[in-house]
Amino acid sequence: MTEVMAAQAHPRYEQQKLAAIRAAASVFADLGYHGASTKLIAERMGIKQASLYYYFKSKQQALAEVCLYGLENYVERLTMIATARQPFAAQLLSVFNAHLAAYREKNEALKVYNDERLYLPEDARTELKELGSGYRQVLESLFEKAVAAGDLRDDVDCHFAAQAVIGIGNAWGDLIVRDRDLDVVSIAHKCTDMLLNGFAPLPETH
C-alpha cells in the first residue's frame, strides 16, 4: 500500500533491493521457503533482520519477488529463440543452452521459482502462472511449427514434448547448480541429440 517502495530514483535503494532479492534467493534455495529465516537472509546481505522489512513487506513478498526475478527475461529469451529463422535442431539446442545457462547464472532464483512457488498464495501465483505457462506454450508451438514444417515426425505429441524438454532441463539444471564442473554446452548437445535422434541405432540406410 505504501508508496515508499515506488519512490525509486535512488540508486542505493535499487542496488540494495537487488541485493536483498539475491540474498533471499540464495537462502530460499539452500533451505527452502519455510526453512529460511529472515534473520539469515539479512545476515547474508550484511544487514540486520528488521532492516529487511524496508525492502520487503513480508517474507512471502520476498518469495514472490525472487520467483519473478528468476523468470525475468526468461520467456523473452525463449521467444527470441523461437522466432529466429534457424533450423529446428539449432533452435532446440539454443533452448537447452539458454535453459541450462539460466540455471548457472541466476541458478538460485530459478530453482526457487521451480521448487517453492507453490507456497505462494493463489493470487500471487497467478501472475507467475502466466509467465510460466507462457514458457511452455512458446515451446509447444515451436514444436508444432516444426511438425508442420516436416522437421519432426508428424505423430509427435507437442504438449508431451514441451513438458519433456522442461523436465529434462530442470533435472539437469539442478545437477548443474550442485556441480559447477558440469559443462553446460556439452549437456545441451546431448539433450538435443537425444530428443531429436533418440538412443536407438540408425536403421540401415542402404
The cell for 9 is 530514483
What is the DSSP secondary structure assignment for residue 95, as one 8-state letter? H
**To which residue does cell 506454450 refer?**
137
Residue type for position 62: A
Does residue 51 belong to the site contacting DNA (CB under 7 A)?
yes
Find which of DNA, a second copy, none residue 126 binds, CB within 5 to 8 Å per kind: none
Build a one-symbol-per-residue string for 140-179: x at contacts with a second copy by CB under 8 A, - elsewhere.
Answer: ---x------xxxxx-xx--xx-xx-xxx-xxx--x----
Q: Which of 45, 95, 176, 191 touches a second copy (CB under 8 A)?
A: 191
Min dist. Cβ of residue 189 to DNA (A): 41
Q: Which of 16, 79, 137, 163 touches DNA (CB under 7 A)?
A: 16
Instruction: Pick the closer one to DNA by CB: 4 or 202.
Output: 4
Instruction: Pick the closer one to DNA by CB: 54 or 88.
Output: 54
Q: What whole-number distance in Å separates Cα of residue 128 and Cα of residue 74?
A: 12
Q: What whole-number distance in Å separates Cα of residue 59 and Cα of residue 65?
A: 10
Specify burial of residue 149 (Cβ count, 10 A radius: 0-12, 13-18, 19+).
exposed
Residue closest to 142 by CA, chosen among 88, 200, 102? 88
Build a one-symbol-per-residue string for 108-127: x at contacts with a second copy by CB under 8 A, - elsewhere.
Answer: -------x---x--------
Find which of a second copy, DNA, none residue 2 binds, CB within 5 to 8 Å per kind: none
